[in-house]
Amino acid sequence: MSAINMRDVALFAALSDGALDEITAAMPISRWPAGSVIYQEGEPGDSLCIVREGTIEVIKALNTAEEWLVRRMGPGNFVGELVLLEPGSIRSATVRALTDVEIASLGRAEFDALLAHQPHVAAELMETLSRRLREANDSTIRDLRQKNSELETAYRALQEAQAQIIEKERLERELQLAHDLQQSMLPRELPVAAGYDFGAMMTPAQAVGGDFYDFMDLGAGRIGIVVADVSDKGMSAALFMALTRSLIRAEASRGVSPPEALRRVNYHLLDMNESGMFVTVLYGILDTTSGDFLYARAGHELPLVYDRSGATVAVPVSRGQPLALLPDPALDEQCIAIPPGGRLVLNSDGVTDAINRQEQPFGVERLHNLVPNLRDSDAQKLCHAVFNAVKVYEDSTPQFDDFTLVIVNSTG
């Protein structure tokens, strides 16, 4: 591509041929590859740059977060006029070659000589400078408006984020309080009875859960034991759990049998249950004198019984349905004996339904295989051993359901 004719530069348009030849001869020509910095913002300047060939960029605050492209210029355009009008001034912007360029430079001495012979050049330069100042002013206003809009948007986003953080912290505090309250509902102390060792734990899948266990001293060597699992998880399940626990305790305190207590609890839950939730329950009474465990099972997991050697003991079973769904649910009413030196295990499905990375459940068989290997452990240590075995099996997958376990060892 051929260089521009200097006659096409607006600054020189009115010069005579002789004057143009004279000034052109006094201007050195330089070539710059694409990407080169021709002038650097902030450095002293004493020459005007005329683009003869290629394209340059005028940039403010190069290589900073505030970098701003002022304009692009092609052949016939010039930049740097301010340094000629103000001796000792510095460059107000960086000039960089966008493409390979050819530049003609007009120094201050040559410019002063040009003005002395051709005063109309000063008028042309002032007109150009005035136009560029207007363009820069308009561009600055547009840029400020855009940044103003961006700041306003960022401020609104910050306000929303702050409100979300405050709300999140409030919810976390409330969940922690709910968790602490739910944990306080669990028995503070395990029962103490000659010939028996008790263990229990409940770990919710979320901050609060729908599982619970309970022990009640019913007098005359009888201990009431409850394990229950409310449908769903989270706050609603926790509230339903608290209601169910209170009702079971109230009915058990009347001294009625486990099936009668559960029927009465079902009656009350039906009257209060508008959410359609339900609860599976196993409530039994352990006679610490005979070792008999008389229980009623409302759709809950079957109790597991092991003898002194750790072998499983068959448990009779009949139909049992959850509470809070039917006016007269079927209940599995049984009486089993804990063998001397044996143990009773009551769990929620969060134990056996725990899954690994292949989505395979832990299952009852693994529990059967685990218990005999730990038959010398006390009941509470055994609860933690089962919980740890389940966590290892899950292999860091999120806990899917609440984990509840009650173990009664016969030490006779």
In a domain, 305, yes or no: yes
In a domain, 280, yes or no: yes
Query: Do 391 and 318 sit in the same domain of this protein?
Result: yes
Query: Do 123 and 232 sit in the same domain of this protein?
Result: no
DSSP secondary structure string for all residues of 249-281: HHHHTTT--HHHHHHHHHHHHHHH--S---EEE
Query: Do 346 and 208 sit in the same domain of this protein?
Result: yes
In a domain, 153, yes or no: no
By CB atoms closer than 10 A (0-12, 13-18, 19+), residue 16 is exposed
Sheet holding 47-53, edge to edge: 29-32, 101-107, 47-53, 78-79
CATH at 92 = 2.60.120.10
Query: Do 69 and 217 sit in the same domain of this protein?
Result: no
Distance CA 145, CA 292 (A): 83
> How many structural domains is the chain composed of?
2
Query: Do 138 and 212 sit in the same domain of this protein?
Result: no
Range of 133's domain?
Answer: 6-142
Q: What string of pLDDT tens digits covers the 412 residues of the chain?
A: 456 777 788 777 767 777 778 778 878 999 999 999 999 999 988 888 889 999 999 999 999 988 888 889 999 888 887 777 777 788 889 999 999 999 998 888 877 777 777 676 666 656 665 666 667 667 767 877 887 888 888 888 888 888 888 777 777 676 666 556 666 667 889 999 999 999 999 988 876 778 889 999 999 999 999 999 998 777 778 888 888 999 999 999 999 999 999 999 999 999 887 778 899 999 999 999 999 999 999 999 999 999 998 899 999 999 999 999 999 999 999 999 999 999 999 999 999 999 999 989 999 999 988 887 776 679 999 999 999 999 999 988 888 788 999 999 999 7
Domain end marker among 85, 114, 142: 142
In a domain, 263, yes or no: yes
In a domain, 169, yes or no: no
Query: Do 131 and 193 sit in the same domain of this protein?
Result: no
Distance CA 22, CA 384 (A): 99
CATH at 404 = 3.60.40.10
Query: Do 135 and 194 sit in the same domain of this protein?
Result: no
Query: Do 207 and 79 sit in the same domain of this protein?
Result: no
In a domain, 103, yes or no: yes
Query: Do 92 and 219 sit in the same domain of this protein?
Result: no
Query: Do 233 and 382 sit in the same domain of this protein?
Result: yes
Query: Do 195 and 331 sit in the same domain of this protein?
Result: yes
Query: Do 109 and 220 sit in the same domain of this protein?
Result: no
Token output for 46: 């004493």
Token output for 315: 């448990």
In a domain, 164, yes or no: no
- Residue 177: the pLDDT is 64
In a domain, 182, yes or no: no
